[in-house]
Amino acid sequence: MSSSPLLQFVTFSSAVEATFWHTLSTRKIDLYKLDDTSHDVLGYYSTGRTVISQHATEASISMPAHLCLGTGAFDDANEESFSRLPPFSYPSIGKIKNTNTIEDFKGLDKTSLFKEITEQIWQDITSGEAIKNPYLITRFLLLTFADLKKYKYHYWFGFPALLTEPPWSVSENGQIKSIGDSWEYNEIASFRENYDLFRKHSGANAGFFLVKKSSQNEFMIGSLSEWDTFFENCHDNERIVGFADPSSLLTNPGWPLRNLLVLLQRHWNVHKIKVICYREIPGKKDISQTRILTVEIPDTTTISDKCPKSVGWEKNSQGKLGPRSADLAPLMDPKKLADTSVDLNLKLMRWRIVPDLQLEKIRETKCLLLGAGTLGCYVARSLLGWGVRHITFVDNARVSFSNPIRQPLFFFEDCLEGGKPKARTAAENLKKVYPGVITEGHDISIPMPGHPITSESQVRSDVEKIKQLVESHDVVFLLMDSRESRWLPTMLGASMRKLVINTALGFDTYVVMRHGVKDQHAASKSTDAYSSKMPKVDHLGCYFCNDIVAPIDSLKDRTLDQQCTVTRPGLSAIAGAYAVELMISVLHHEKGPAAPADTNDDPSSAASTPLGIIPHQIRGFLTNFNNLLIIGQAYDKCTACSDKILEEYKINGFEFLKRVFDSPTYLEELTGLTKLHQESEAAGDFDWDEEDTEL
């Protein structure tokens, strides 16, 4: 007897469903408010089971002894709410104490709260209430603090188990057998059928029961309250108690048995009894994992009228006796929800259509949008669509009454009182579209060649700011409405080898292009998708490479209709979208901004990126709804990106820029264009067509 091994019980482990936290939050806000008195909660548990793996390589899974709190946890404990619990589960009543502050939570007299529940269990046992309603012996305690601002939930469960002195041990040298090793097949079947019947009419109390063998070798089931009559003609060793056992371990029954044994000892002076640890595979009519054992304590053991000591605080994931905290922000914080949804949406593209899509790279790409007008707004929206998180606007204008109808980041209110600054307003409104975006707006005028400087200190600081912005971003979008304002960022982008995407609009025509960056590791032979019709271009040009005139003041002699960009309204949405898609494709090329241009638009041939080809320039004509892909070679006399200019900027810095801004002819002189003009005029055999300023 003294050699019998101790009976060790598996503790409950808590499982809280997200809906429980949701309900707690709404009740805290709408119902409890600052009232922090305790409330009843309704939990449940199911019997333990081990899922035997179908595959030899996978281990079998022993289900943990979960005590669950779900949606209906705050319903009053009655037959109706019990019936709404998941099938094959058993109720357990808890007390929740939700504090108003974290300090209150820390300062709770946890020991006395735990003792309160312990005493409640003890009282139900001594009064006999627990015989009528044995589910009361599984009472538990839940301490919580709900940080509703951060969606963080601090919580701690206690499952009081009354201690018996000395503890229970397992008879027959600790033998714990499976039901199949103890009983015959038809005995098991009759037990199962009778238990099913018992469960149907016992409701909440089906978790604890009596079992005996009838004269017909059939196993009968009774409720605890029937003890005296049920076991009337039974010998002590023919009495069996059963309980729905949340444990799935072969050698250890679950927590509810502890208080059941105290109840048996207290009321019927039980010192030794056979126990059925009822475990089923829900709905499979399979109870083969049920365990049977005999437990005992010395028959001299008495139980006093005083409430015994108790244990049962749940440990945290470190195995220490301390609270846990759950971060529900991803489910509850609207901003996080937006993040998740955006992320999911984009990932679908990768999971389903383009497995090589580099979403992380796109997300990390920092985009500088020079111009927060029609193009700027559309480009920003398309970038958001791709999950780009860093978008910076630069513009010097204010929102005017004509803007909102064409520029989707502005509203009527933004035009009032002289209009808000466009760049900052675009950033603010972009955040309204998606709060997860990192965005700011800078009210800066971009200095332009041929526009003489009025305040040198102002221009110096503007240039410095623009330089810093280009430097701190990965992609620069040129979305302004004049040609010459593109010069400085084009030059800066070329000198810093940034990806520059340039978009310009005519009335019904547009150009979307990327500026070339010289490939420093150019292979002698290209493997990219070239069609033989096109000459090979090793360094792609910029916006100014095709021009043989330097940018000068094109705004000076314009009439009003020329100063506004007069375009077909759909054009900027089209061109803006092309600009963004071009950027995305370039990001997918291993050479990035230095990627050679593809001209092969034959869909059957291999493309250079997972998303298809990367053109240099897209020129579109809305008159006949047509696009042309064009390649332009970098021009060694280019006024913006030629080595000569970049070298000059490198050496003379702001002094060089100042001369450019002040003198309309300086750039042409420097690059040798002046000389070229003179030569061609001397040759005199053709005229240069004045090109559309925006094309």
User: Which residues, 68 to 97, sit near other proteins by CB under 8 A?
Assistant: 68, 71, 84, 86-88
Q: Which residues ranging from 114 to 153 are in contact with other proteins (CB under 8 A)?
A: 153
The answer to the question of residue 315 lying near other proteins (CB under 8 A) is yes
Alpha helices in 17-144 (DSSP H): 18-27, 79-83, 102-107, 110-127, 129-132
The answer to the question of residue 624 lying near other proteins (CB under 8 A) is no
* Tokens of residue 33, six digits: 């408010």
CB 613 within 8 A of CB 604: no
Pairwise CA distance, residues 81 & 203, whole Å: 11
* Tokens of residue 229, six digits: 């009559």
> Which CB sits closer to other proteins, 205 or 252?
252
Find tokens 């357990």 and name the residue: 92
Q: Which of 42, 121, 161, 504 binds other proteins (CB under 8 A)?
A: 161
Minimal distance, residue 66 CB to other proteins, in Å:
7
The answer to the question of residue 316 lying near other proteins (CB under 8 A) is yes
Phi, psi (5° rounding) for residue 363? -60, -35
Pairwise CA distance, residues 366 & 594, whole Å: 18
CB 165 within 8 A of CB 306: no
Pairwise CA distance, residues 498 & 474, whole Å: 6
Segment interacting with other proteins, rule: CB under 8 A, options 219-227, 307-315, 383-391, 393-401: 307-315
Q: Which of 168, 198, 378, 434 binds other proteins (CB under 8 A)?
A: 168
The answer to the question of residue 14 lying near other proteins (CB under 8 A) is yes
Q: Which of 113, 189, 311, 453 binds other proteins (CB under 8 A)?
A: 311
Which residue, among 355, 434, 331, has the nearest Cα to 390 in the 3D structure? 434
Q: Which residues ranging from 338 to 377 are in contact with other proteins (CB under 8 A)?
A: 340-341, 343-345, 347-348, 351-352, 360
| Bridge-based pairing state of the strands 475-478 and 499-505 | parallel
> Which CB sits closer to other proteins, 282 or 452?
282
> Which CB sits closer to other proteins, 78 or 341?
341
Q: Is 307 an active-site residue? A: no
> Which CB sits closer to other proteins, 64 or 672?
64
The answer to the question of residue 260 lying near other proteins (CB under 8 A) is no
The answer to the question of residue 653 lying near other proteins (CB under 8 A) is no
The answer to the question of residue 62 lying near other proteins (CB under 8 A) is yes
Contacts of 177-182 spanning 24+ positions with Cβ under 8 A? 177/291, 177/292, 177/293, 178/250, 178/288, 178/289, 178/290, 178/291, 178/292, 179/276, 179/287, 179/288, 179/290, 179/291, 179/292, 180/288, 182/292
CB 542 within 8 A of CB 617: no
Minimal distance, residue 13 CB to other proteins, in Å:
6
Q: Which entry of 277, 367, 415, 564 is annotated as an active-site residue? A: 564
Q: Which amino acid is at 548?
A: I
Phi, psi (5° rounding) for residue 572? -70, -30
The answer to the question of residue 322 lying near other proteins (CB under 8 A) is yes
The answer to the question of residue 64 lying near other proteins (CB under 8 A) is yes
Minimal distance, residue 297 CB to other proteins, in Å:
11
* Tokens of residue 498, six digits: 């940034």
Tell me the three-class secondary structure of 584-653, residue by residue. Answer: HHHHCCCCHHHCCCCCCCCCCCCCCECCECCCCEEEEECCCCEEEEECCECCCCCCCCCHHHHHHHHHHH
Mapping DSSP to helix (H, G, I), strand (E, B) and coil, where does residue 527 land? coil
Minimal distance, residue 182 CB to other proteins, in Å:
22
The answer to the question of residue 25 lying near other proteins (CB under 8 A) is no
Minimal distance, residue 63 CB to other proteins, in Å:
6
The answer to the question of residue 206 lying near other proteins (CB under 8 A) is no
* String of contacts with other proteins for each residue 508-547, x by CB under 8 A: ----------------------------------------
CB 546 within 8 A of CB 673: no
Pairwise CA distance, residues 180 & 185, whole Å: 7
Which residue, among 555, 553, 537, 547, has the nearest Cα to 640 in the 3D structure? 547
Which residue, among 284, 267, 273, has the nearest Cα to 243 in the 3D structure? 273
Q: Which of 21, 45, 198, 378 binds other proteins (CB under 8 A)?
A: 21
> Which CB sits closer to other proteins, 320 or 533?
320
Minimal distance, residue 15 CB to other proteins, in Å:
5
Distances, alpha carbon 200 to alpha carbons 83, 179, 206, 242, in Å: 11, 22, 8, 16
| Residues that contact other proteins, how many (by CB under 8 A) | 74
The answer to the question of residue 326 lying near other proteins (CB under 8 A) is yes
* Tokens of residue 252, six digits: 């250890």
* Tokens of residue 431, six digits: 């955040």
The answer to the question of residue 196 lying near other proteins (CB under 8 A) is no
Segment interacting with other proteins, rule: CB under 8 A, options 62-70, 189-197, 214-222, 611-619: 62-70
The answer to the question of residue 227 lying near other proteins (CB under 8 A) is no
Minimal distance, residue 153 CB to other proteins, in Å:
8
Minimal distance, residue 308 CB to other proteins, in Å:
11
| Bridge-based pairing state of the strands 310-313 and 152-162 | antiparallel
> Which CB sits closer to other proteins, 37 or 318?
318
Minimal distance, residue 394 CB to other proteins, in Å:
32
The answer to the question of residue 435 lying near other proteins (CB under 8 A) is no
The answer to the question of residue 27 lying near other proteins (CB under 8 A) is no
Segment interacting with other proteins, rule: CB under 8 A, options 231-239, 276-284, 425-433, 450-458: 276-284
> Which CB sits closer to other proteins, 84 or 432?
84
Minimal distance, residue 186 CB to other proteins, in Å:
22
> Which CB sits closer to other proteins, 44 or 198?
44
The answer to the question of residue 283 lying near other proteins (CB under 8 A) is yes
Minimal distance, residue 106 CB to other proteins, in Å:
6
Q: Which of 4, 12, 20, 502 binds other proteins (CB under 8 A)?
A: 20
Axis-axis angle for helices 374-385, 422-433 (nearest 10): 30
* Tokens of residue 306, six digits: 């005083």
Q: Which of 330, 435, 452, 653 binds other proteins (CB under 8 A)?
A: 330
Q: Which residues are catalytic?
A: 564
